[in-house]
Amino acid sequence: MSTKKVEEMILAVCRKHPEGVQDTVLEQELPNVSVNDRALAINALLSALKLQILVNPADPSSHIYKASAAADTARLKGLTPEDMLVYQCIQGAGNMGIWTRDMKTRTNLQQPKINKILKTLEERLLVKSVKSVQNASKKVYMLYELEPAKELTGGPWYGPDAFDSEFITVLQDATMSYIKSKGDATLADIVRFIKETVSAGCTQTWYGRHECAAAGVHRVREHGTTSVQRKLVPSACMSARMHACPAILYSASGSQGISKQALQEDDVQRIINTLDYDGKIEGVDLDDDGVEHYRLALMKIPETTAFTSIPCGVCPVFNECVEGGKISPATCVYYQEWLDF
């Protein structure tokens, strides 16, 4: 029997078992093929990247064969076995990515070699590097088509390369405006409001000013040097009830288009909590159902006090100030400014 025919037969068996087949199964399914022919055919398939050899998840001491997708075969064509080793190592790490030093340990390849392979794989858009929010200097690699895990990107609160404080401020403003207009609202109401407004949103590039027929001109912020697109929902688009400044309700991540990473309930809860810590809203248990309602705080924190309205109250060197010393009330420049009518 020709090797070509045996290859086709093996591929057919592998496609019949998408979860992968063991050598014993191949032996049973192809009783007329000798061991030598089977070995030659498998080697040829592996060289042509039409077949993958993997560790059997049920029994790690054995291995299984799995047919590669046709597209994968085309994409991976021309890769050396070492390239494939690194590629598989990255593939195994999933959307958490893998650090180059870990790759070195797992593949037993030298660091320069790994760097060279990674460069090749990145050029062929097979893998990509992602910076972790936990450690900005630590780059991890993952398959190009994967979305990085939340732990890696920091969730919706991180932009392409930094913590997105402005996004949080805008979300806080939107939530505040909603609570103000409603009187009181539950977490579910606020989450629903955000979801509804998302459907009314419009897409806009990151730079420049956003023109919206309904709302006129809205503020759009600048964000780093990379042109990133985000889903922007100006206030007037959100709801007729809203009187807020422009609100941007979707976070972007990655460099391709808009991220559809919707805010989850616990994300919204965190925004509400920050408003509570800021003393802007307060949680009350109005109903007997035990659901917490949020309303504007009745006790507003005073803008200033007698202590902080004098220079001593906000003085950065208050503790070093002594009469007759280098810093003293008599020679204080802050007092001088304060008393300079």
Partner 1 sequence: MADTAFGGQPPASRGPHACRLALKLVDEALGPVCRKVIGCLVDHGMQQYGELVRASGLAPPQLRAALLVLIQHNYVNCYLKEEPPTLRGPGPSYYLYEVALPRILQSLRVPRFLTHIADDHGQESVRLIHNLLEHGRLRWDQLLKAVCSEAAEEGEGEEPPPDPEVLANKFRSLVMERYVERVPPCNLPPPAQQVHPNARKKKAAPKPGSEEEADLQREQSEVQQRQGYQEARFQLSADLGGDAALIGSEAAAEKQAGKRKRGKDATAEEPAKKRGRKKAGDAGQAAAETAAAEAAAAGAKSAGVAAGQNEEEPVLWRVNYDEFNRRFRNDIIVSTVKLKYGVDAGHAVHGLLLANARFEQTAHTVETVVLSVNDASGALRRAEKEVPDNIDAVLGELSEDVFGLLESRGQGPGGEQFVMNFPRILNLARLLELEAVVKNKFGPHGMRIWRLLLLMGQLEQKQVADLAMLTKEEAREKLYGMLKAGYLALQDVPRTADHAPSRTFYTWRANPGVVNARMASDLYRAAGNLHARLAHEMSKKEELVQLLEAPSVASHVLERREEEIAALRAVTTRLEASLLDLDAQIMLFNDV
Where along the sequence are the contacts to partner 1 (CB under 8 A)? 157, 162-163, 165, 168, 270-271, 273-274, 277-279, 298-299, 301-310, 312-314, 318-319, 321, 323, 328-330, 332, 335, 338-339, 341
Q: List C-alpha distances in Å: 9 to 137, 166, 331.
A: 49, 59, 95
CB of 305 to partner 1, least distance (A): 5
Closer CB to partner 1, 31 or 316, in the complex? 316
DSSP 3-state of 211: strand
CB of 173 to partner 1, least distance (A): 13
Closer CB to partner 1, 60 or 341, in the complex? 341
Strands 139-143 and 98-99: antiparallel
CA max distance for the chain? 105
Q: Taking the CA of residue 26 as centre, how many other CA atoms within 13 Å lie in the half-sphere pointing to its CB?
A: 27
Rounded Cα–Cα distance for residues 248 and 199 (Å): 13
Contact 281, 272 (CB under 8 A): yes
Rounded Cα–Cα distance for residues 244 and 242 (Å): 6
Non-local CB neighbours of 177 within 8 Å, separated by 6+ positions: 235, 242, 243, 244
| Phi/psi at 196 (5° precision) | -65, -40
Closer CB to partner 1, 18 or 316, in the complex? 316
Closer CB to partner 1, 149 or 312, in the complex? 312
CB of 301 to partner 1, least distance (A): 5
Closer CB to partner 1, 123 or 222, in the complex? 222
Closer CB to partner 1, 10 or 281, in the complex? 281
Rounded Cα–Cα distance for residues 143 and 146 (Å): 6
Contact 79, 52 (CB under 8 A): no
Q: Which residue in 4, 1, 28, 26 sits closest to 14, CA to CA?
A: 26
CB of 132 to partner 1, least distance (A): 13
Closer CB to partner 1, 27 or 278, in the complex? 278
Rounded Cα–Cα distance for residues 91 and 93 (Å): 5
